[in-house]
Amino acid sequence: MPRYLLILEFDGGPFCGWQRQENGLSIQESLEDAAFKFSGERVTAFSAGRTDAGVHALAMPAHFDLQKEAEPGKVREAINYHLKPAPIAALSAEIVSNDFHTRFSATRRHYRYRIVNRRAPLTLDAGRAWRLGAPLDETAMHDAAQALVGKHDFTTFRASTCQADTPVKTLSSICVAREGDEVRVECAARSFLHHQVRSMVGSLVEVGFGRWTRADFVDAFHARNRRRCGQVAPAEGLYFLRADYA
């Protein structure tokens, strides 16, 4: 039974997230339905990240198994045909070994958060970035963010509904940089807690506005108390960038 790895790009705005749910259309359900229309087989699709409602992806790995083998390019084209008009695209497809798993084989996941720092409303980026009108100090944000690198208890930046066994995670890197009006926060780790990236970004924005000092940010982080977290950044600015595999 061949296993197909697809790399997906999607706009998360119309979806309730990656995972199939009863309260709305998910990306997983859309992909599984497209696979059924193509092959006549009911498949279960797995991804490298279970994104929330409204979160986007530039290169999300996903896989499923089919009974019959087909040329990967044909699978990609068929999936894209049956996904229409949903804003999801399979950028590539390949056959991988049966011991490969998009979620469990991933060694690192990369996320980007986009902030558009301008007074004017968003037009082209509406629903795809967080607009903040007051000036942000991205240098202060980057400096404070470095306190997060390494193995720590991230309870302060963990959603109350998070189902992870432990709040301890190892953040490999985090960078805050500006290009024109856009401030980007990019981070990488083997895995993340529920709402961890959006919580970190929301708290870093407090530093960027000058409402918190670096010491305030670090104290909130080390408090290991969800009530010390700043605002949670909205989902529309978050992007799953890619996953690394050994």
Q: Is 120 exposed, middle or buried (0-12, 13-18, 19+ CB in 10 A)?
A: exposed
Statement to judge: residues 122 and 92 lie in one domain: no
Angle between helices 138-145 and 196-208 in degrees, nearest 10: 130
Q: Is the pLDDT assigned to residue 22 strictly greater than 90?
A: no
User: In the predicted model, what is the mean pLDDT of residues 112-128?
Assistant: 97
Domain end point (choices 69, 96, 123): 96
Statement to judge: residues 124 and 216 lie in one domain: yes
- Provide the mean pLDDT of the chain: 97
Confidence of residue 107 (pLDDT cuts 50, 70, 90): very high
User: In the predicted model, what is the mean pLDDT of residues 203-222?
Assistant: 98
Tell me, yes or no, whether 190 lies in a domain. Answer: yes
Tell me, yes or no, whether 102 lies in a domain. Answer: no
State residue 98's pLDDT score: 95
State residue 163's pLDDT score: 87
Quick one: CA torsion of 22, 26, 30, 33, rounded to 10 degrees?
A: -30
Q: Active-site positions? A: 52
CATH number (domain holding residue 114)? 3.30.70.660
Domain end point (choices 96, 116, 131): 96
Statement to judge: residues 157 and 131 lie in one domain: yes
Percent of residues, the chain, with pLDDT higher than 70? 100
**Number of compact structural domains in the chain:** 2
Statement to judge: residues 217 and 111 lie in one domain: yes
State residue 24's pLDDT score: 92
Percent of residues, the chain, with pLDDT higher than 90? 95
CB 93 within 8 A of CB 5: yes
Statement to judge: residues 182 and 207 lie in one domain: yes
Statement to judge: residues 174 and 111 lie in one domain: yes
Statement to judge: residues 77 and 119 lie in one domain: no
Statement to judge: residues 71 and 131 lie in one domain: no
First to last CA, the chain: 23
State residue 215's pLDDT score: 98
Which domain range does residue 29 map to? 3-96
Question: pLDDT tens digits, residue range 67-88?
Answer: 989 999 999 999 999 999 999 9
Statement to judge: residues 200 and 230 lie in one domain: yes
Confidence of residue 23 (pLDDT cuts 50, 70, 90): confident
